[in-house]
Structure 1
Amino acid sequence: MTTFGIEEELMLVHPGSLSPANAAVPVIEELRHHRGIGPYVSHEYLASQVEFSSPVFASAGQAETMTLAFRKAATDAAQRQGVIAASVGVPFQPANPPLVTDVPRYRRIAADHGAITLGHQVNALHVHVGVRSRSDGVVALNGLRVWLPVLLALSGNSPFWQGRDTGFASWRSVQMRRWTTAGCPPMMFDEQDYRRRTTALVGVGGTTDVRTIAWNARLSEDNPTVEIRVFDAQLDVDDTVFLAVISRALTDTVIRSAGNDRLPNDVDPELLDASLWLACRDGLTGDLVHPLRAELAPAKDVVSALIDLSRDALVESGDEPRVRTKVDRLFHEGAGAERQRRAMQTGGRRALRTLLQGVPSGATHNQGTFPGSNARGATRTDTALTDTALIDTAPL
């Protein structure tokens, strides 16, 4: 079974204003003394952020158990500092200016990006999927890129900025478009082409190193993985795990299908970029560009095509019931952006605060074990993820 890992960022916010609170130092210090969580917690770009970089998972149950434990521990530690650990793409009310974590690399990135840093108060979910080689990783990127707008639409969870509704499901994605590199990766010939093109970007604009290449999917520099980076941080653990397992299934599918006519060879880059913009504005509430037809179609039809395409891999991993149930729920209840908007409409900022500070039970499918038993290192021999945390020092 292909293994995977999760990186997710939480933002500490003040309960009243829901603006960033620079409390990461004491919160992380407490979390590092947590027996099961400590090795997997780190600082991020802002002094208001906490990052969780998971061990390697073989199943959705393992991911759910560990991620829920992290969320619970982070919530408790934040409460002891008088703040909320919010899992959203951007804060309801941004800090002005934000405080950058005081390490040399982050200070340099802030200097390179000037006023862009004022808006770069973003929280993402990154999913790592194990691949046998970097060559397979390039094959995966070439197949995944046309589906990235659809994955973004499933994850939109940042509708508010400066206390107002932006009209976008993922304002985080809008903020990310301002970096030197952004959007879907280009088509690559092979591993050497990937290395040549990414190396050439270093030093251009704000690309300090290859880890600051901000494509929505790329190869990890530290792990034998494809890193899918298009997602907003998610309200619930259930949302996070759903996106992780559908990412694994899609990655497996495009690698297995390489060279046949089952998948599109490409979508014109201008259409793909416009498709990303549409997905970050409308999420699942309108049309999306259908990657198999390169034309607009109802979001439900496009997501169904994604699930159908990945069905064999989902059945093999045992994740098909979870994924189909979650998709039905998303189209019935809405993704994070719609849930946030509904909270604001029905109960104002107080209701939104309640939504952000809740730790979901979310364990209806939980059949996993807490990492430290067989959840860590449970990799198959042909997928080379190792028994380490997926630490990535890039602040994106």
Structure 2
Amino acid sequence: MSDPRPSRPSPRTIGVEEEVILLEPDTLSPIDVADEVIGELVDLDASASWITHEYLRAQLEFSSPVLADGDAAERVVRAFRDALSQAAARRSLIPASVGTAHGRGASSTAEGDRYLRFDTELGAIRPDHQIQGLHVHVAIASRGEGVEIMRALRPWLAPLLALTANSPSFAGADTGFASWRTMIGRRFTTASAPPVFADADDYERRTRALVGLGTTFDTASLAWMMRLAERWPTVELRLFDAQLSAGETVATALLARALVEVAAAGELPHAEAAAQHELVDAAIWHAARHGLDDGLVDPATAELAPAWEVIDRMVEAARPALQAAGDEQRVDAFLARTRAEGNGATRQRAALAGGEAALGRMLRESFSA
């Protein structure tokens, strides 16, 4: 006799895009050899077409296939990192998964009309546009559902950023921020948290009105911390700095999926005031500045609270979805390490206290861990 209980729906599929910068080990400055490295990886494995160049000549981007579970995500992220680690080692370079690189040197712009146009539009901002992110795609049933999910997630962007901040230094100096990449991104035509949209039609109308203004050449260049993807039926979370290790990348993606799941079910709590644009935006700035080292705006109360109290509230809201997907262990291990050792920004600063060589070793070891 079949089990009469209703079956639990399968977890939403996810996709991961992570950007990596190639660094010279003595100076930790970018080295413009990404195209050469990509060519070698593709020659070794024809399936490596998921490794592509990005805006900078020192950057590579990994775009995963559609992933159903944490095991698949771990497998493909580690395969990419292993292949890139070997290619970088053959050139005595460091592949670094960081929001911004520490070294003073700058990478030049990759070829392509789109990149050239973006370069021109940035003007004097261009020298600072040396950033790497982690983008997580989570499947949605419709664009209408995606708009509702984005509305529910807005107050939780700041806690997510504080947890994953990983860009404390830039151009050879400590910026004082946990996520300097976030501050650079705030200069774009669209930046920080997206506005609240009434529905999918409202989203389409208002985003298309932005096309042609500044760096928004098309809807694919919207730079908000989350948006609806144009090519895929997903909501794309773009707020995360690139993460030091494969485990952190995967855990971040799984936590994002769980939060999307509970947001879609209307089970992600927040006070109405916490969703107000000025508070959401200020909370993001505060999280980018302090990471986990100061309080965070608690979406449940719209007031400052101890950082880990807010993080724990967020994770507990997501826990039913983590348990249903079998992701609880991975995410809890990530949280336990972050609680003990700090986020990526804290760990980079700790390593840099021992000198640039020590930071370089930490970056290399974390990438391959």
Normalising by structure 1, report the TM-score: 0.88
Matches within 5 A, 1:148-167: 148-167=157-176
Question: Is the CA contact (8 Å cut-off) linking 2:14 and 2:137 kept in structure 1?
Answer: yes
Question: Is the CA contact (8 Å cut-off) linking 1:71 and 1:359 kept in structure 2?
Answer: no
Within the alignment, does 1:357 sit opposite 2:367 as a pair?
no
Matches within 5 A, 1:180-329: 180-257=189-266, 262-265=269-272, 267-329=275-337
User: For residue 186 of structure 1, what is the amino acid of its counterpart?
Assistant: P
Question: Is the CA contact (8 Å cut-off) linking 2:161 and 2:239 kept in structure 1?
Answer: yes
Distance (Å, rounded) in 2 between the aligned partners of 1:201 and 1:100: 25
Matches within 5 A, 1:337-352: 337-345=345-353, 347-352=354-359
User: For residue 349 of structure 1, what is the amino acid of its counterpart?
Assistant: E
Displacement after TM superposition at 1:286 (Å) = 1.3
Aligned to 1:79: 89
Secondary structure at the residue paired with 1:11?
strand
Displacement after TM superposition at 1:321 (Å) = 2.4
User: For residue 199 of structure 2, what is the amino acid of its counterpart?
Assistant: D
Within the alignment, does 1:175 sit opposite 2:184 as a pair?
yes
User: For residue 289 of structure 1, what is the amino acid of its counterpart?
Assistant: V
- Which residues of structure 2 form unaligned runs of 5+? 1-10
Displacement after TM superposition at 1:193 (Å) = 0.4
Secondary structure at the residue paired with 1:106?
helix
Displacement after TM superposition at 1:12 (Å) = 0.8
User: For residue 110 of structure 1, what is the amino acid of its counterpart?
Assistant: D
Question: Is the CA contact (8 Å cut-off) linking 1:129 and 1:227 kept in structure 2?
Answer: yes
Within the alignment, does 1:123 sit opposite 2:132 as a pair?
yes
- Which residues of structure 1 form unaligned runs of 5+? 363-396
User: For residue 115 of structure 1, what is the amino acid of its counterpart?
Assistant: A
Question: Is the CA contact (8 Å cut-off) linking 1:72 and 1:359 kept in structure 2?
Answer: no
Displacement after TM superposition at 1:356 (Å) = 1.1
Displacement after TM superposition at 1:257 (Å) = 1.1
1:194-230 deviation per Cα after TM superposition (whole angstroms, max 9, x unaligned): 0011100111122111111110000111111000000
Secondary structure at the residue paired with 2:16?
strand
Distance (Å, rounded) in 1 between the aligned partners of 2:196 and 2:313: 22
**Higher fraction of helix:** 2
Question: Is the CA contact (8 Å cut-off) linking 2:155 and 2:270 kept in structure 1?
Answer: no
Range 16-25 or range 262-271, more displaced: 262-271
Distance (Å, rounded) in 1 between the aligned partners of 2:256 and 2:302: 21
Displacement after TM superposition at 1:81 (Å) = 2.7
Aligned to 1:374: none
CA gap of 1:318–1:361, structure 2 versus 1, over 3 A, is farther
Question: Is the CA contact (8 Å cut-off) linking 1:23 and 1:81 kept in structure 2?
Answer: no
Secondary structure at the residue paired with 1:68?
helix
> What is the CA RMSD across the aligned residues, in angstroms?
1.5
CA gap of 1:144–1:51, structure 2 versus 1, over 3 A, is same
Secondary structure at the residue paired with 1:52?
strand
Question: Is the CA contact (8 Å cut-off) linking 2:269 and 2:299 kept in structure 1?
Answer: no
Displacement after TM superposition at 1:328 (Å) = 2.1
Secondary structure at the residue paired with 1:114?
helix
User: For residue 328 of structure 1, what is the amino acid of its counterpart?
Assistant: A
Distance (Å, rounded) in 1 between the aligned partners of 2:270 and 2:158: 16
Distance (Å, rounded) in 1 between the aligned partners of 2:150 and 2:207: 14
Q: Percent of counterpart pairs with the same letter?
A: 45
Aligned to 2:5: none
Matches within 5 A, 1:51-130: 51-96=61-106, 98-130=107-139
User: For residue 166 of structure 1, what is the amino acid of its counterpart?
Assistant: T
Question: Is the CA contact (8 Å cut-off) linking 2:144 and 2:199 kept in structure 1?
Answer: yes
Distance (Å, rounded) in 2 between the aligned partners of 1:125 and 1:337: 15
Matches within 5 A, 1:129-148: 129-148=138-157
